[in-house]
Structure 1
Amino acid sequence: MRNLDITTLRSFVAVADAGGVTRAAGFLNLTQSAVSMQLKRLEEMLDLALLDRSGRGVSLTPAGEQLLAYARRMVELNDEIYARLTMQDWEGEIVLGVPHDVVYPVIPRVMKKMQRDFPRVRLQLLSSYTAELKSLFARGAVDVILTTEAEPAEGGESLLDVPLRWYGAPGGTAWKSRPLRIAFSRRCGFRPVAVSLMEREGFEWELAVDSESDRTIEVSVSADLAVTPVLEGHAPAHFEMVPPGVLPELGMQKVCLYASGARPRILEPLLEMLRCEFQTLRPRTDIAAQ
């Protein structure tokens, strides 16, 4: 295998854009003879004539035209890699706040990609409840947050619509009990949604578990002591969805994105990754919602 030299390709692109070696040499801050030598070396390596020198100016041969598109991409990729790894614009710390129930499966993938593509950027994950995350964001303590709410507030961007479902233990019977035994975290944003629905429909229920700890809720539900509302597709592995139509429907929730405008350049790659990753979940949730 023979390797093409980026410096040589850069000279070739400059000559093609400038229409001549002399002007290209000025753009590259090189001598005319140095640029000519690089072009000659490139033609010898490929064993192809890339420039037509028969006229007054310099034009590309068919082979040169074909090479030009590849050369541009290679030079641009080289410059992008160098910029991302060395420029201070791509260096610093980002604090990302995410609710417990939407950490998987998107956030580990995003963090891995950020580490790979922007190794000089430290992405710090903070997991909490939506209300707490919005409070921290308002105080400037976090740079980017995801939330789960019925509608985004001002400045928020909706990434995904997800059905809110009832979950219990695999093969469990807690969902059959009346009054329905429910486990709620005290700070869970889905709690007022579910309570309001149950009261509006006159559905008999009781608070079986009231805890600050998500782990306590998980243990209680997986032990078949109660049911709890969870976003579809984001439930723990030891939960099972209650058969649809048995309990009151909980409607839809949105995964929303909020970003600080303080450092847009360093944040933009992260925001784009989050948008793309949640986009991949849409077909599955759309089908499930039907």
Structure 2
Amino acid sequence: MRNLDVTTLRSFVAVADSGGVTRAAGFLHLTQSAVSMQLKRLEEVLDVSLLDRSGRTIALTASGEQLLVYARRMVALNDEVIGRLTDQAYEGEIVLGVPHDIVYPAIPQVLKQFHAAFPRVKVHLVSSYTRALKDKFGRGECDVILTTETSLDAGAQTLCCKPLKWVGAPGGAAWRQKPLKLAFGRLCTFRPRVVEALDTAGIPWDVIVETESDRTIEATVSADLAIHTMIEGTEPPHLERIDHGGVLPDLPLQQINLYGAHSSKGVIHDTLADYLRRAFSAPEHPKLKAV
């Protein structure tokens, strides 16, 4: 009689979900060699090849795809049994990465709900730019991240699509100036598309504030010295959408994507991912196609 080890299955699911041993090792807080050894042991027990290692990235074989369905169920059932029979008080820490511009208004409510469900679990909130968050996620430094993008990577899930909107000071006139004065973050992923839209419309522009501080941008814009762009519904009370009557170009839709929702790290991880889905899922705009 051969028996499957749940720890090994958990590692297999993590590799399948993250697309590689290195990233899975970071999520599992194990060394890369330990995860590789577990996968090898699993293949030996089943006497099948689970991973196709012939390409530049790891892919599942047909046997691996079949096992993944069972592995998810077995890991989830294991966690459910442990939780119910031991009546454990969940403890620990989970790292959530969120871009600066979509922290409000949804994330405070998500954190409040999560704390009520797991009062002894610490959520370490990392707020940064999408590019930096994806790098951290790739190194296993974040368990779950949200991103704002116009595309979708493998393993991610689009929660909603919303348009970028021009924002300025309440009752401001900065949007009427020529050249148009802009305030942007140095690593802002919106900026290239905003500039492209302005160039296409033949509108001269000038970036007068380039910073890594959202507070600096908001102070400049609220003083009516420049304008900015934000995802619809995320603008703070001291800024407002500009009613420009078509003078400024329309801006592209942005996807709010969720990474790490299927890493099978247990009920804590799954619950946080579910709260994020509920907070951001909104069928207001058509979804963009993944690339």
TM-score, length-scaled by structure 2 = 0.65
**In structure 2, what is the equivalent of residue 190 of structure 1?**
190
Cα distance between partner residues in 2 of 1:275 and 1:238? 27
Structure 1 residue 286 displacement after superposition: 4.5
Q: 1:127 to 1:146 in 2, by over 3 A?
A: same
Cα distance between partner residues in 1 of 2:168 and 2:179? 15
Cα distance between partner residues in 2 of 1:84 and 1:97? 32
Cα distance between partner residues in 1 of 2:112 and 2:86? 16
Structure 1 residue 238 displacement after superposition: 0.8
Structure number with greater Rg is 1
**In structure 2, what is the equivalent of residue 175 of structure 1?**
175
| Maintained 8 Å contact 1:85/1:119 | no
| Maintained 8 Å contact 2:264/2:270 | no
CA shift digits 1:89-129 (9 cap, x unpaired): x4321000001111112111111111111223221111111
Cα distance between partner residues in 2 of 1:216 and 1:119? 34
> 1:147 is aligned with what amino acid?
T
Structure 1 residue 84 displacement after superposition: 10
CA shift digits 1:13-33 (9 cap, x unpaired): xxxxxxxxxxxxxxxxxxxxx
CA shift digits 1:57-82 (9 cap, x unpaired): xxxxxxxxxxxxxxxxxxxxxx99x7
| Maintained 8 Å contact 1:158/1:254 | yes
- The yes-or-no answer on 1:259 pairing with 2:260 is yes
Structure 1 residue 210 displacement after superposition: 1.5
- The yes-or-no answer on 1:203 pairing with 2:203 is yes
Cα distance between partner residues in 1 of 2:260 and 2:189? 20
**In structure 1, what is the equivalent of residue 231 of structure 2?**
231
Structure 1 runs, 4 residues or longer, greater than 3 Å off: 82-86
Cα distance between partner residues in 2 of 1:248 and 1:233? 19
CA shift digits 1:223-258 (9 cap, x unpaired): 000101111110111111111522011121011100
Q: Which runs of structure 2 are paired with 1:45-56 in the superposition (5 Å)?
A: none
**In structure 1, what is the equivalent of residue 68 of structure 2?**
none
**In structure 2, what is the equivalent of residue 124 of structure 1?**
124
Return 254-263 or 229-238, whichever deviates more. 254-263
- The yes-or-no answer on 1:271 pairing with 2:270 is no
Tell me the number of residue pairs that the alignment of Structure 1 and Structure 2 aligns. 204
**In structure 2, what is the equivalent of residue 102 of structure 1?**
102
Structure 1 residue 212 displacement after superposition: 2.0
> 1:166 is aligned with what amino acid?
W
**In structure 2, what is the equivalent of residue 87 of structure 1?**
88
Q: 1:271 to 1:217 in 2, by over 3 A?
A: same
Q: 1:254 to 1:155 in 2, by over 3 A?
A: same
> 2:274 is aligned with what amino acid?
E
- The yes-or-no answer on 1:159 pairing with 2:194 is no
Q: Which runs of structure 2 are paired with 1:123-142 in the superposition (5 Å)?
A: 123-142=123-142
SS of equivalent to 1:159: strand
> 2:273 is aligned with what amino acid?
L
Q: 1:246 to 1:91 in 2, by over 3 A?
A: same
Structure 1 residue 154 displacement after superposition: 1.5
Cα distance between partner residues in 2 of 1:85 and 1:259? 27
> 2:179 is aligned with what amino acid?
P
Higher relative CO (CA 8 A, sep ≥ 6), structure 1 or 2? 2
| Maintained 8 Å contact 1:85/1:120 | no
Q: 1:126 to 1:85 in 2, by over 3 A?
A: farther
> 2:95 is aligned with what amino acid?
V
Q: Which runs of structure 2 are paired with 1:213-232 in the superposition (5 Å)?
A: 213-232=213-232
**In structure 2, what is the equivalent of residue 240 of structure 1?**
240
Structure 1 residue 85 displacement after superposition: 9.1
| Maintained 8 Å contact 1:84/1:118 | no
